[in-house]
């Protein structure tokens, strides 16, 4: 029977690559995103060309009513939710030194990146717990975190803190849900070529050219989608709470 994957922030970038990948693996894909779907119509057209079954719900992961409305829409159309990918995330609107960081920016980033993912996962996990086992599992959760969970960037501290919080969120849900047939994984992308990084494209391209990354290229959204594919495959069923650095080897301490 066809399974259903839910992806937040899936209209473009990494989230869309994940949606397309899972659609290619015969999942129904349900996307929650703040954007007008017409803004990224060419992406949705790709799903149609693949003859994918998809649902697009316009709303914010930071809003309780939107989270609930989305889960209701997915339940009505598809029934179970088998895969949750917490991908929606934002960078600070203005990069500034931690000594200048505003409370407004802190609240915005933490509310979307951490609180939104935390309570959306809570909602979906509760639903998964009501579902029948399929084989040895009731669901899989993948959190799209970041190298910023452990690397200090003093001009976007709120982003780093939101991702460090997400890393603990991965452990907490993995621990809570391990006995319930739901494994939880985390991916920590390094620098991935998307709209989010377009504002710092030159800075990161220069770093890549200077050899800062052992694998000397930009990461692609498809690199992340491929890793999600592995995590949801069921081939890692004896591990949960693990993270994968997807950063061209940037996490390796070097002399
Ligand atoms: N790109 C990288 O180098 C990189 C590295 C490490 C981690 N990540 C993480 O990977 C994830 C995806 O990043 P990306 O580069 O693909 O970013 P992106 O190109 O900005 O795409 C993110 C998508 O999420 C949507 N979104 C924003 N706030 C939302 C909300 N409240 N509710 C639902 N959807 C929302 C965005 O809408 P808008 O168009 O309105 O913003 C956008 O469609 C993020 O969590 C990011 O932190 C990215």
Cα 234 to chain center, whole Å? 18
Ligand 1 centroid, distance to 21 Cα (angstroms): 17
For residue 44, the model assigns a pLDDT of 97
Using DSSP's 3-state secondary structure scheme, residue 179 falls into helix
Q: How far apart are CA 140 and CA 137, in angstroms?
A: 8
**Site to substitute for ligand 1 among 7, 34, 115, most atoms within 8 A of C-beta:** 34
pLDDT at 1: 85
Give catalytic residue positions.
159
Residue 62: predicted pLDDT: 98
Of 161, 227, 140, 239, the closest CA to residue 188 belongs to: 227
Residues of the chain with pLDDT under 70: none
Residue 34: Cβ-neighbour burial (10 angstroms; 0-12, 13-18, 19+): middle
How many C-beta neighbours within 10 Å does residue 187 have?
Answer: 26
Give 154-159's long-range contacts (Cβ < 8 A, gap of 24+): 154/97, 154/98, 155/95, 155/96, 155/97, 155/98, 156/91, 156/92, 156/95, 157/98, 157/101, 158/92, 158/101, 158/105, 158/106, 158/108, 158/109, 158/110, 159/91, 159/92, 159/109, 159/113
- Condensed to tens digits (0 to 9), the pLDDT of residues 44-102 reads 999 999 999 999 999 999 999 999 999 999 999 999 999 999 999 999 999 999 999 99
Structure tokens at 77: 């159309």
pLDDT score of 3: 98
> 87 CB under 6 A from ligand 1?
yes
Q: Is 104 helix (H, G, I), strand (E, B) or coil?
A: helix
**0.95 exceeded by pTM:** yes
Report the candidate in 89, 83, 114, 88 with the shortest Cα–Cα distance to residue 185.
83
Every domain of the chain and the residues it spans: 4-246
Q: Which phi-psi region, left, alpha or beta, contains residue 135 (left: φ > 0; alpha: ψ -120 to 50)?
A: left
CB of 127 within 6 A of ligand 1: the answer is no
In tens, the pLDDT along 94-113 reads 999 999 999 999 999 999 99
Q: What is the pLDDT of residue 158?
A: 98
Residue 27 tokens, joined: 């999942």
Q: Is the CB of 228 under 6 A from ligand 1?
A: no
4-246: CATH number: 3.40.50.720
């Amino acid at each position: 029977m066809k399974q259903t994957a839910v992806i937040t922030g899936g209209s473009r970038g990494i989230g869309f690559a994940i949606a397309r990948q899972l659609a290619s693996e015969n999942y129904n894909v349900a996307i929650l995103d703040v954007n007008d779907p017409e803004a990224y119509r060419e992406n949705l057209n790709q799903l149609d060309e693949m003859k994918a079954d998809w649902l697009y719900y316009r709303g914010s992961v930071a809003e309780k009513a939107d989270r609930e409305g989305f889960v209701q829409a997915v339940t009505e159309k598809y029934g179970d939710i088998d895969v949750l990918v917490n991908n929606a995330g934002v960078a600070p609107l203005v990069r500034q030194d931690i000594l200048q960081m505003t409370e407004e920016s802190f609240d915005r980033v933490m509310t979307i990146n951490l609180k939104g993912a935390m309570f959306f996962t809570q909602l979906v996990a509760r639903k998964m717990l009501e579902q029948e086992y399929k084989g040895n599992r009731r669901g899989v959760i993948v959190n799209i975190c970041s190298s910023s969970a452990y690397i200090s960037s003093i001009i976007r501290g709120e982003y780093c803190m939101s991702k460090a919080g997400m890393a603990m969120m991965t452990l907490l849900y993995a621990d809570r849900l391990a006995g319930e047939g739901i494994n939880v994984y985390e991916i920590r992308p390094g620098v991935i070529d998307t709209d989010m990084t377009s504002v710092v494209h030159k800075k990161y391209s220069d770093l890549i050219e200077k050899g800062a990354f052992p694998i000397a290229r930009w990461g692609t959204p498809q690199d992340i989608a491929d890793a999600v594919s592995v995590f949801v495959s069921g081939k890692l069923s004896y591990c949960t709470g693990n993270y994968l650095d997807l950063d061209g080897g940037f996490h390796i301490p070097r002399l």
